[in-house]
Amino acid sequence: MQIRFADARPEGDYALVLPVAGKDRSALNALGAAQPSVVAALERQRFDGEAASAAELFIDDHGTSRRLLVVGTGNGSDQHDIAEKLGGTAVGRLLTSGEAKAVVDVTGLGLDADSAARVGLAAALRAWRYDRYRTKLKDKQKPTLNEVIVVGGGEAAGQHYMDRWAPVYEGVSLTRELVTEPANIIYPESFVERVQASLKGSGVDIEVLNRAAMEKLGMGALLGVAQGSVREARLLILKWNGGGEGGQPVAFVGKGVTFDTGGISIKPAAGMEAMKWDMGGAGAVVGAMKALALRKAKANIVGICGLVENMPGGNAQRPGDVVTTMSGQTVEVINTDAEGRLVLADAITYVQRNFKPSTIIDLATLTGAILISLGHEWAGLFSNTDELAEKLQQAGADSGDKLWRMPLAEPFDRLIDSPIADMKNVGPREGGSITAAQFIQRFVENGVKWAHIDMAGKAWSDKPSATYDKGATGYGVRLLDEYVAEVLEA
């Protein structure tokens, strides 16, 4: 999708998108002679101008018939929200409509440059789809819209879009692609290759550890998960040094289970295909690194992805096995389906030993229990530092990747003590997301600020929203990008 910005409406063929705030019809005055009949048509459709609502009709625009899409912006005052719902709703409606070009006229909304640019961002994000394996799409199912022009957003909007939001779009796209690809295509090795190709020339430094290298480092927890699969594990290390010399970096760590069968503690068949996106945390980390590099963020960030496939098999780890982590701590593997925390434990130790980060933020599709707690609207946030938690929640609110804080406390920690090893990898069913976070916390070294994001309810959506269609959401990329912008670059 081409996104452009202009001062005035172009000549020629296009669908016109006009925002209307609630019951206020004044935005339609620009239609001149057509205005009264348009207002009447909106009444007939019971169009009330609510945010993200839309009505469609054809008008006579100086002698040519033109599709008019009226999009409601509601009665709220949050310009970012208005802008993104407008751009996304317009594209959601027009993507396969037959129209090739849309003009979103925001004159009269009084948007600042950033908000006007976000109309373009949401339009681009909502247009994203992955048709690679759909070889028999009917013409009617294929996208027709290939250009969105935002008119009346002011001079700075276009430049701001290029500087800030086009990179974010690229990052989200990479994440969505990795999350969407099936597990016969994306496994640890091919995940790395896809990322290497995508980040070529971006200035991100890439390092990869294979199984032999991880064995030498004693990463027994991560490798224990991987040992049932014929796909070899990888640790992917991405470095972006935009903040100059010195200073401790901030680390992003992602769970990258390219498929989670559960292992010997195998999952039920129904719905297991969803576990192709159990690498959504790692996907978010690489997408964020791409966005930050493309927009040349002034910060030093290291991104780590623990990439494994969790399979049953003759060499798979068994319930009751004891593994030794890179930290030296031992773990009794009670349930081989609680594998994400085992992967994160070694990835977190690795990043602390090698990069001495001040702050670690890990992202993982870690527990089904977080879906029971928070459903699909919020991801769960756990942190050992209030200030970090508050800043992440702020970035979550500002980016739309929302976070709800959950507790950590010693009584939960006791629930993962093991009679044979230093800890076991599962607690009781109750509070399952919390004991999972407590497990990870045992690998965070003294003085390191740490936050854990359980995004099991967020990586994939069964219904479309303003900025995504059904499927991979790209959750986490905008959150991390916003955190860097608000906290590290401020």
Which listed range, 53-61, 123-131, 254-262, 327-335, lies at the site for Zn ion (CB under 5 A)?
A: 254-262
Does residue 476 belong to the site contacting ligand BES (CB under 6 A)?
no
Report which of 404, 402, 438 is spatially closest to residue 423, judged by C-alpha positions.
Answer: 438
Which residues make up the interface to Mn ion (CB under 5 A)?
Answer: 260, 337, 339
Q: Which is nearer to Mn ion, 81 or 260 (CB)?
A: 260
Helix, strand, coil content of the chain in percent (nearest 5): 40, 20, 40
Q: Which residues on neighbouring strands pair with residue 63, listed in sequence order?
A: none
Min dist. Cβ of residue 190 to ligand BES (A): 20
Min dist. Cβ of residue 257 to ligand BES (A): 6
Does residue 340 belong to the site contacting Zn ion (CB under 5 A)?
yes
* 267 in active site: yes
Q: Are 28 and 39 in contact (CB under 8 A)?
A: yes
What does the longest C-alpha to C-alpha distance in the chain come to? 83
Does residue 456 belong to the site contacting ligand BES (CB under 6 A)?
yes
Q: Which is nearer to ligand BES, 158 or 340 (CB)?
A: 340
Three-state SS at 122: helix
Among positions 353-412, residues that touch ligand BES (CB under 6 A) are 365-369
Per the rule left: phi > 0, alpha: psi between -120 and 50, beta: everything else, 185 is: alpha
Using the rule CB under 5 A, which residue among 232, 260, 321, 469 binds Zn ion? 260
Catalytically annotated residue among 341, 391, 424, 458: 341
| Location of structure tokens 């027709």 | 144
Min dist. Cβ of residue 159 to ligand BES (A): 39
Using the rule CB under 5 A, which residue among 257, 264, 307, 426 binds Zn ion? 257
The residue sitting closest to Mn ion, measured at its beta carbon, is: 337
d(CA 177, CA 129): 9
Does residue 99 belong to the site contacting ligand BES (CB under 6 A)?
no
Report which of 238, 331, 354, 370 is spatially closest to residue 292, judged by C-alpha positions.
Answer: 238
Give how far the C-alpha of residue 225 lies from the chain's centroid of Cα atoms, to the nearest Å. Answer: 25
* 46 in active site: no
Using the rule CB under 6 A, which residue among 226, 253, 361, 426 binds ligand BES? 426
d(CA 312, CA 261): 7
Using the rule CB under 6 A, which residue among 340, 431, 474, 476 binds ligand BES? 340
Min dist. Cβ of residue 335 to ligand BES (A): 4
CA-to-CA separations, 397 to 86, 235, 475, in angstroms, rounded: 18, 31, 13
Give how far the C-alpha of residue 488 lies from the chain's centroid of Cα atoms, to the nearest Å. Answer: 20
Q: What amino acid positions are annotated as catalytic residues?
A: 267, 341
Question: In the complex, which residues of this chain contact Zn ion (CB under 5 A)?
Answer: 257, 260, 278, 340
Footprint on this chain of ligand BES (rule: CB under 6 A): 260, 278, 335, 337-340, 365-369, 426, 432, 456
